């Protein structure tokens, strides 16, 4: 790994495993405390030697991967560690410090607005007899040492298929619509409330391979159509508590969502941090045998093996937190950190992390889109942009083919079909 890559990953590990997140047994464990202090001390030493140019590059990487909130929290901790009554040491150049503070303030404001919006939408649906379930996002943010460390985005809500039309009708009364027609390729309706994108789903996910769609639906029904008592609940300040998925569902869904987006367009480091903190918080509640079975039944077990290695190796997740998928070629990887990883899995985890660092969140930074703004015809410009999108995603699949050939080739027919149909549908509107 490059030096700045190493610093960024180090900051993420310090951030998501901060003292506030460690439980009492870990805090009383001298080895855990010493390890935390040693990691922080090493990071302070490396950070003090960084130039303004390097800090700019580091924050650019953090922003691309949607982890600027975690990095900002760690930089603040490092700054406090350097402070003393007789010292005027400043970790960051003044211009960098001002930029970081502005970013952190925007993230905090976004969290407040999202939480208010979640409460408003949830109350409106609940008052009409519809119980939505909050997916990902602000629900996962609750697992961080501080929720505002997580850079937030949109709001994803799940409702049962038989409630979907009623829920869409209700939301159209208080939200702006923000999407086209629904068909078999579109498993959600898009709205905006308070300027925040709100996606209402009647399917939680489309499978990597079309033959597993039924299995995904069965897993969703098993956990999200269960009695209310099985859900986790949180108050976002509204009249009604917001329902969060059962821990067993999120243990599967959060990682499956990561896998799906990685194949489709790439993901950022935030997805890995989300899963790390979630599993750390809920590992004891999860049926791990069922979790492995779900990954196997949906065709992504080998992908999970690589992700497990990456999480343990780079993000500091305990090997016991993520269940092993099975015998892994004798665990002959170097420094396998107790995870019993094969050399094949070990090498793939390295390559996967390098691709994640390069592509940024949802692949926005590897292949930059072209606007074709000079083209006068709206229809021609639309088709050129669609062709550019297809080209960028094809290039991404070429990059990851050697890493996961079966997944890329298996997903390819659905990928082409969805792009062509989407382009034709939009071109007629």
Domain locations in the chain as residue ranges: 1-92, 107-245, 247-366, 370-429
pLDDT in tens, 262-314: 988 889 999 999 999 999 999 999 999 999 999 999 989 999 999 999 999 99
Contact predicate 223/244, CB 8 Å: no
Summarize the confidence of residues 197-201 as an average pLDDT: 93
**Beta partners for residue 198, in sequence order:** 155, 191
Confidence of residue 363 (pLDDT cuts 50, 70, 90): low
Of residues 333 and 346, more confidence is placed in: 346
Query: Most confidently modeled of 30-34, 157-161, 174-178, 336-340?
Result: 157-161
For the cut 90, the answer to whether the pLDDT of residue 329 exceeds it is: no
pLDDT at 17: 84
Strands 232-234 and 155-158: unpaired
Q: Which of 128-137, 172-181, 361-370 has the highest mean pLDDT?
A: 128-137
| CA gap 346, 337 in Å, rounded | 11
Q: How far apart are the first and last CA of the chain?
A: 47
Residues sharing a CB contact under 8 Å with residue 290, sequence separation 6 or more, in sequence order:
248
Report whether pLDDT(223) > 80: yes
For 70-82, the pLDDT digits (tens) are: 998 888 776 655 5
Top-confidence residue, 99 or 232 = 232
The answer to whether 194 and 186 are in contact (CB under 8 A) is no
**Token digits of residue 8:** 């960024």
Hey, which of 342-351, 365-374, 403-412 has the most confident mean pLDDT?
Answer: 342-351
Residue with tokens 């639906």: 217
What's the chain's average pLDDT?
Answer: 82
Please report which confidence band the pLDDT of residue 41 belongs to, taking 50, 70 and 90 as the band edges: low
In which band, very low, low, confident or very high, does the pLDDT at 222 lie, cut at 50, 70 and 90?
very high
pLDDT band at 331 (very low <50, low <70, confident <90, very high): low
240: buried, middle or exposed (CB in 10 Å: 19+, 13-18, 0-12)? middle
Report the 3 state secondary structure along the chain.
Answer: CCHHHHHHHHHHHHHHCCHHHCCHHHHHCHHHHHHHHHHHHHHHHHHHCCCHHHHHHHHHHHHHCCCHHHHHHHHHHHHHHHCCCCCCCCCCCHHHHHHHHHHHHHHHHHHHHHHHHHHHHHHHHHCCCCCCEEECHHHHHCCCCCHHHCCCCCEEEECCHHHHHHHHHHHHHHCEECCCCCCCCCCEEEEEECCEEEEEECCCCCCCCHHHHHHHHHHHHHHHCCCHHHCEEECCCCCCCEEECCHHHHHHHHHHHHHHHHHHCCCCHHHHHHHHHHHHHHHHHCCHHHHHHHHHHCCCHHHHHHHHHHHHHHHCCCCCCCCCCCCCCCCCCCCCCCCCCCHHHHHHHHHHHHHHHHHCHHHCCCCCCCCCCCCCCHHHHHHHHHHHHHHHHHHHHHHHCCCCHHHHHHHHHHHHHHHHHHHHHHHHC
pLDDT of residue 395: 86
Taking residues 11-35, what's their average pLDDT? 58
> What class is the 107-245 domain?
alpha beta
Q: What is the pLDDT of residues 53-103, one digit of tens each?
A: 888 888 888 988 999 999 988 887 766 555 544 443 456 777 778 888 888
Whether the per-residue pLDDT at 354 is higher than 70: the answer is yes
- Residue 80 is predicted with a pLDDT of 59
Do the Cβ atoms of 344 and 306 come closer than 8 Å?
A: no
Q: What would the mean pLDDT of 182-201 be, rounded to a whole number? A: 80
For residues 351, 357, 360 and 363, what is the CA-based torsion angle, rounded to 10 degrees?
-20
Q: Hey, which residues does 233 pair with through a beta bridge?
A: 243
Percentage of the chain modeled with pLDDT above 90: 43
Q: What is the 3-state secondary structure (H, E, C) of 11-30?
A: HHHHHHCCHHHCCHHHHHCH
Q: Is the pLDDT of residue 25 over 90?
A: no
- Note the pTM of the prediction, 2 decimals: 0.86
Examine the pLDDT at 48 and tell me if it is beyond 60.
yes
Question: If DSSP states are collapsed to H, E and C, what string results for 233-275?
Answer: EECCCCCCCEEECCHHHHHHHHHHHHHHHHHHCCCCHHHHHHH
For residue 13, give both structure tokens: 């590990």
Report the distance separating Cα 222 and Cα 296, nearest Å.
17
Which of 107-121, 137-151, 185-199, 292-306 is predicted least confidently?
Answer: 185-199
């Amino acid at each position: 790994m490059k030096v700045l890559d190493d610093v960024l990953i180090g900051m993420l590990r310090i951030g998501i495993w901060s003292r506030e997140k460690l439980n009492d047994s870990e805090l009383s464990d001298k080895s855990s405390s010493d390890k935390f202090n040693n990691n922080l001390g090493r990071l302070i030493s490396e950070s003090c030697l960084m130039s303004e140019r390097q800090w700019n590059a580091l924050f650019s990487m953090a922003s691309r991967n949607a982890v600027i909130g975690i990095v900002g929290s760690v930089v603040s901790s490092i700054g406090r560690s350097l402070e003393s009554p007789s010292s005027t040491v400043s970790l960051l150049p003044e211009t960098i410090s001002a930029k970081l503070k502005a970013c952190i303030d925007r993230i905090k404001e976004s969290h407040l607005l999202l939480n208010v919006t979640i409460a408003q939408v949830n109350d409106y649906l609940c008052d009409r007899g519809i119980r939505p379930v909050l997916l990902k996002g602000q629900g996962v943010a609750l697992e961080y040492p501080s929720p505002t460390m997580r850079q937030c985005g949109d709001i994803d809500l799940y409702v049962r298929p038989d409630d979907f039309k009623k829920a869409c009708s209700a939301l159209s009364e208080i939200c702006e619509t923000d999407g086209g027609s629904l068909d078999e390729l579109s498993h959600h309706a898009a709205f905006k409330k308070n300027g925040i994108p709100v996606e209402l789903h009647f399917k939680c996910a489309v499978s990597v391979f079309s033959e597993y769609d039924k299995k995904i639906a069965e897993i969703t029904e098993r956990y999200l159509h269960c009695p209310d008592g099985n859900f986790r609940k949180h108050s976002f300040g509204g009249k009604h508590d917001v329902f969060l998925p059962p821990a067993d569902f999120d243990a599967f869904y959060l990682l499956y969502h990561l896998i799906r987006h990685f194949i489709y367009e790439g993901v950022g480091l935030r997805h890995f941090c989300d899963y790390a903190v979630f599993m750390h918080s809920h590992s004891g509640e999860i049926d791990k045998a069922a979790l492995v079975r779900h990954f196997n039944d949906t065709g992504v077990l080998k992908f999970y093996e690589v992700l497990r290695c990456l999480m343990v190796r780079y993000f500091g997740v305990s090997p016991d937190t993520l269940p092993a998928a099975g015998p892994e070629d004798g665990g002959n990887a170097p420094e396998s950190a107790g995870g019993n990883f094969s050399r094949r899995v070990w090498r793939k985890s390295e390559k996967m992390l390098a691709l994640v660092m390069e592509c940024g969140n949802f692949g926005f930074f590897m292949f930059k889109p072209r606007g074709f703004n000079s083209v006068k015809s709206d229809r021609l410009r639309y088709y050129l942009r669609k062709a550019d999108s297809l080209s960028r995603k094809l290039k991404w699949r070429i990059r990851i083919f050697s890493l996961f050939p079966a997944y890329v080739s298996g997903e390819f027919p659905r990928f082409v079909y969805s792009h062509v149909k989407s382009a034709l549908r939009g071109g007629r509107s």
